[in-house]
Amino acid sequence: MNSRAAVPTPVNEPVLSYAPGSPERVKFFKRLAELKAKKTEVPLFIGGTEIRTARKREIRSPYDHGQVIGKVNEGGVPEIKKAVAAAMKARKEWSRMPFQARAAVFLKAADLLAGDYRWTLNAATMLGQSKNLHQAEIDSACELIDFYRFNPHFAQEIYARQPDSSRGCWNRLQFRPLEGFVYAVTPFNFTAIAGNLPTAPVLMGNTVVWKPSGTAMLSAYWIMKLFEEAGLPPGVINLVAGPSGAISDILLPHPDMAGVHFTGSTPVFHSMWNAVAKNMPVYRSYPRLVGETGGKDFVMVHSSADPDAVAAALVRGAFEYQGQKCSAASRAYIPADLWPRIRKSMKDMLASIEVGSPEDPGCFVNAVIDRKAFDKIKAYIVNAKKDKSNKLVFGGTCDDSQGYFIHPTVIESSDPKSVTMREEIFGPVLTIHVYAEKKWKETLQLCDATSAYALTGAVFARERKAILEAELALENAAGNFYINDKPTGAVVGQQPFGGGRASGTNDKAGSFLNLIRWTSARTIKETFDPPKDYRYPWLGREPKAES
């Protein structure tokens, strides 16, 4: 109160190495063993109360599906309605709490997560979502810490944007929270997204009903515990679980539904958008619909590119976290003159990759998330093998005997519009189209027009002219465009993230562009010495000229 306290200048959280013998490795594996033994029961969190229901579901590890690691309580209609009531009740105080007090909760959460919570959330992410040491560290530790340190800084910048005032008056913009609750729906593949989607609106004074992915409930539970310890008041974020369609059927048509903060697949976001359109007359205000959705991310290679840099970017970009990043490279256009060299380099690297449990630090590639994903990805591979325009360059093995393991798979397709060049597979499958190097410009057009998505993309070239040509031709093909780098690994505060076309509303998570969507500005004009007479000076006739 009575101060203009500035949020500490944020800096990106350093990524720990987890090298053999490092203290972080010891601490992490100790916590992993504890968490495995604990078999966490995940309740619903409504109005600050943990609620257990009659309907329970087991949580199993994707890399060892015989292993039960906990259970989830699922809610029905009464619990979902209670969650809305709790959010609306908490809104009264939270929306009026000074910004510094709200920001402090998340700055504290960041510090807790940079400390002992790091091992817990990373272990939960490994156990529940099959991320290895590095993938868990960059996601559930570093990226989430960054969201909690950078967002208060961006919010402060938004609040500082004020209009001019002319003499005799004072104009202000008040960045009000939305009038209602926000419905946050999060995907399985990033613990950081799960932790950011409910909190970005909350930082701006909103309250939230949060539905995490059914396959990321263990990490969602520890995120709620982190909020509690950081001092988030009861009811500000209410976690619900259960069949997503049924939850949406209650929340989307609610008159107080003021916004949707979604990340996940394009068809689900379409269904939510349609439901909102259908319910338009019931809402108090036009709901804000913010959604980051699927991708078919490309790597466009020019013949001036460094072939080894291309090969390394493709291996990392396509196969880290089993290709289950929305930004993962999944189609590449390679000039015929470079293909033999890139193919050899990639095959050598891929041959050294071990596929297996993320608990074994030697395994670069681990299991995909669940049976449904395994079956879907396997079907793409089986069908691609049958297609005469395709050649299998590497991999193709799928094994679900113990966990959902799919080996890194590279397909060469002579048809640039084949199914695996166009559709999001969301697994470790990369399709390559080899083009005649003279057809660079045509291939740029082809890349732009092949897929409905426009999330991430990369160009590899040494010639500046080629880089510029790609930058222009692919202007609308990606919301995040990389030059001589893999298309994954956006860092909060450095590469604000989001895509256009079928990939989302492009409201750039981790930037002011996202936070501003959770506000509805009120303009306030105060006049210090208002006029006391309605008449303006112009209202009067010239005196009649004397004749």
- Binding-site ranges for ligand NAD (CB under 6 A): 185-190, 193, 211, 213-214, 244-245, 248, 263-265, 268, 271-272, 292-295, 326, 424, 426, 455, 497, 499, 503-504
Residue 249: CB minimum distance to ligand NAD, A: 8
DSSP-derived secondary structure letter, 238: E
Residue 120: CB minimum distance to ligand NAD, A: 22
The angle formed by the CA atoms of residues 137, 148 and 3, to the nearest 5 degrees, is 150
Helix (H, G, I), strand (E, B) or coil at 300: strand
The angle formed by the CA atoms of residues 411, 419 and 387, to the nearest 5 degrees, is 60
DSSP-derived secondary structure letter, 416: T
DSSP string, 44-67: EEETTEEE--SEEEEEEETTEEEE
The catalytically annotated residue of 13, 74, 79, 292 is 292
Residue 192: CB minimum distance to ligand NAD, A: 10
Residue 504: CB minimum distance to ligand NAD, A: 5
Which phi-psi region, left, alpha or beta, contains residue 190 (left: φ > 0; alpha: ψ -120 to 50)? beta
Our CB check for ligand NAD shows the closer of 142 and 193 to be 193
Residue 361: CB minimum distance to ligand NAD, A: 25
Alpha carbon distance 215, 124 (integer Å): 12
- The answer to whether 209 and 238 have CB atoms below 8 angstroms apart is yes
The catalytically annotated residue of 142, 326, 398, 447 is 326
Helix (H, G, I), strand (E, B) or coil at 543: coil
- The answer to whether 418 and 259 have CB atoms below 8 angstroms apart is no
- The answer to whether 430 and 342 have CB atoms below 8 angstroms apart is no
Dmax (CA) for the chain in angstroms is 111
Residue 246: CB minimum distance to ligand NAD, A: 9
Residue 153: CB minimum distance to ligand NAD, A: 21
Inter-axis angle of helices 464-473 and 440-450, to 10 degrees?
30
Our CB check for ligand NAD shows the closer of 178 and 217 to be 217
Position of minimal CB gap to ligand NAD: 264
Our CB check for ligand NAD shows the closer of 114 and 246 to be 246
Alpha carbon distance 236, 228 (integer Å): 11
Our CB check for ligand NAD shows the closer of 434 and 492 to be 492
Residue 449: CB minimum distance to ligand NAD, A: 20
- The answer to whether 330 and 431 have CB atoms below 8 angstroms apart is yes
Alpha carbon distance 516, 201 (integer Å): 9
The angle formed by the CA atoms of residues 487, 300 and 306, to the nearest 5 degrees, is 90
Our CB check for ligand NAD shows the closer of 221 and 440 to be 221
Alpha carbon distance 434, 338 (integer Å): 9
Size of the chain, expressed as the number of residues it contains: 547
Our CB check for ligand NAD shows the closer of 271 and 495 to be 271
**Cβ contacts of 280 within 8 Å, gap of 6 or more:** 286
Our CB check for ligand NAD shows the closer of 283 and 321 to be 321
Note if 326 is an active site residue: yes
Q: Residue 367: which of 340, 402, 336 has the closest Cα?
A: 402
Strands (E), 194-233: 207-211
Our CB check for ligand NAD shows the closer of 40 and 186 to be 186
Our CB check for ligand NAD shows the closer of 152 and 499 to be 499
Alpha carbon distance 211, 233 (integer Å): 18
Residue 72: CB minimum distance to ligand NAD, A: 12
From the centroid of its chain, how far is CA 411?
28
Task: Catalogue the active-site residues.
Answer: 292, 326
